[in-house]
Amino acid sequence: MDDALRLSHLHALLDAPLARSLLRLHPNDVASDLLFTPPDEWRPWWDLHTDIPEQPPLWSRTLSWAPHIPGVVRDLVLEVKRLQLPRPPVRIDALLNIVSDKGMSPKKTHEVSRMATYIIDLLRANHIDPAKVRIVDVGAGQGYLTRTLKYHLPSTHILALDADEGQTVGAQRWEERVLPKSDSDGSPNPPISHRTTLITPETLVDTVDKWIKETLRNEESIDPVPVLLIGLHACGSLTPYILRAFIALRSQVIVHNTWTAFGVVAVGCCYNLLNAGDFPLSKYLTSFPSLNLPVSAYHLAAQIPAHWFVPSPNPEDDPEPFPSVALAIRKVTWRALLAREFLHLQRSPSSSTPPPPSTPLLTAVQKPQPPARWTRLPVAPLPEIAPVEGTGITPEMRRLGRLRDGAYTDWEVFLKIAGGKMDVDFFSEDRLEKDGTLERRLEVLHTLRCLLGPAVESLILLDRVRWLREELGLDRKLTVDLVNLFDQATGSGRNVGIVIAPMLPSYASFSA
């Protein structure tokens, strides 16, 4: 399926009444409404018989072809699977070693090793001299990727950018510990350069330009030096910023005689932190009626339900969720039931339960100020409800905060721990009994919401690719593609890289 057709079908899926209502109603919203009436499009699964066996859980069977699952749910599951982007990782046979895995999780080690290998293969595919190219790691953080690239490309000039001075200092300390100071022949290597700055497309280009002039101070260069912009999980609007800077440079909106933007390898994340105006981007998608996705849709884009279950060689077996997944579902559901219990106690005539804080959850959005890391705030004011719609954020849940995993082993234990933290007696005579039917409905609701996550992320990624091809259409020397760099089974949910370059490594091309 070509990207235009897939985009149009994803738009239709997410604009349908079932998807719209699922995205806009969090389990907290449903449980907190003591008189809740489900939308008509929910009725086929909301009114399922309660005598269905409890094992395996009903929520897990909604993602399979088990008996009793209504056709509307099966159709939704099938349509999402049909339209979401394929996510198997590309095969990279010869992975590079990590310079040091101290402080790195297995997931991070997997990501750094594969992305560093891909970047070096990309340079080779384009016959780029490592001593001539400049690499800019945008949002470098603790510098795991930066150091690995430097270890394998000792002669390459690399700039690490981050908005957090603490991250920059931490990265520099690690470099002093693990990186060699010179080549095996004793010749000194250019050190990793660091800059701490708040990134926009304009400041990114300006910072790179100043840095390149410094690196060329003692060199004579006839041709502009090639620059590769990279970002490993470039958060929120940081990925669009990288892409906008690249477009401006390639379209000669911004011209620099000493360097040229050669390519991009960027893996985005945290779509819920996108600034207003950074989705949709393509003329094609903006020509459709506005989806007006709630913020919850961007949160859900991080979900990977395809990896919720223990692999089984027999497709007829009942799906067995990983314990961590079952726990995550329980957390969402029990917290929603707790909010219901809290509101019931508040309304009880004999209640001494204190009301939630009266401080509004959100005020008008202010102009972004330089934050600890990348700006999280929209650049334009939004209606007060927009940032929280469908996210389940309530005064009660903020008051509860996070609980340790052990709090969710037993409902009575959960009530005791939550009550202690909220200063509420959930064991009073007026308490509600735990509603098993509602619990199962909320589990299914959360599951169906998560099911839509990959469709939302696919829409965002395809929109970015379409936009890049629109903006770079006259530049026949460039290829724009999506590459599945990481294996989602390792926990690397955001595994798709946007890659722009004249040539891509042959093993890694994935056509959108």
Q: What is the CATH number of the domain that holds 270?
A: 3.40.50.150
Identify the band that residue 216 occupies on the pLDDT scale cut at 50, 70 and 90. Answer: confident
Kindly state whether residue 8 falls inside one of the protein's structural domains. yes
- ∠ CA 348-354-356, nearest 5°, is 110
What pLDDT is recorded for position 280?
A: 96
pLDDT reading at 490 higher than 80 = yes
**Alpha carbon distance 370, 356 (integer Å):** 31
User: Of 292, 248, 293, 243, which Cα lies nearest the Cα of 464?
Assistant: 243
Mean pLDDT over residues 161-169, rounded? 91
pLDDT reading at 174 higher than 90 = no
Look at the pTM and tell me if it is higher than 0.85. Answer: yes
Identify the band that residue 220 occupies on the pLDDT scale cut at 50, 70 and 90. Answer: low
Kindly state whether residue 184 falls inside one of the protein's structural domains. yes
Kindly state whether residue 416 falls inside one of the protein's structural domains. no
Lowest mean pLDDT, pick from 234-243, 424-433, 446-455, 502-511: 502-511
Lowest mean pLDDT, pick from 39-48, 140-149, 202-211: 39-48
Mean pLDDT over residues 393-402, rounded? 80
What pLDDT is recorded for position 477?
A: 86
Q: Which amino acid makes up residue 48?
A: L
Identify the band that residue 105 occupies on the pLDDT scale cut at 50, 70 and 90. Answer: very high
Instruction: Give the pair of three-digit tokens for residue 509.
Output: 């091309």
Kindly state whether residue 18 falls inside one of the protein's structural domains. yes
What pLDDT is recorded for position 319?
A: 79
| Angle between the N-to-C axes of helices 453-471 and 3-15, in degrees from 0 to 180, rounded to the nearest 10 | 140
pLDDT reading at 172 higher than 70 = yes
Q: Tell me: the pLDDT tens digits for 237-279?
A: 999 999 999 999 988 766 778 899 999 999 999 999 999 899 9
Any long-range contacts for 360-364 (C-beta under 8 Å, 24+ apart)? 360/384, 361/388, 361/393, 361/395, 361/398, 362/387, 362/388
What pLDDT is recorded for position 55?
A: 65
User: Of 19, 84, 7, which Cα lies nearest the Cα of 390?
Assistant: 19
What pLDDT is recorded for position 53?
A: 60
pLDDT over 70, % of the chain: 85
Q: Tell me: the pLDDT tens digits for 62-83?
A: 877 666 778 899 999 999 999 9
Kindly state whether residue 347 falls inside one of the protein's structural domains. no
Mean pLDDT over residues 155-176, rounded? 91
Kindly state whether residue 362 falls inside one of the protein's structural domains. no
**Alpha carbon distance 424, 432 (integer Å):** 14
Instruction: State how far the alpha carbon of 430 is from the alpha carbons of 31, 94, 342, in Å.
Output: 17, 64, 11
Kindly state whether residue 392 falls inside one of the protein's structural domains. no
The domain of 471 spans 1-324+454-511
How many domains, in total, are found in the chain? 1
What mean pLDDT, rounded, does the chain reach?
Answer: 86
What pLDDT is recorded for position 322?
A: 94
Kindly state whether residue 420 falls inside one of the protein's structural domains. no
Mean pLDDT over residues 211-218, rounded? 84
pLDDT over 90, % of the chain: 62
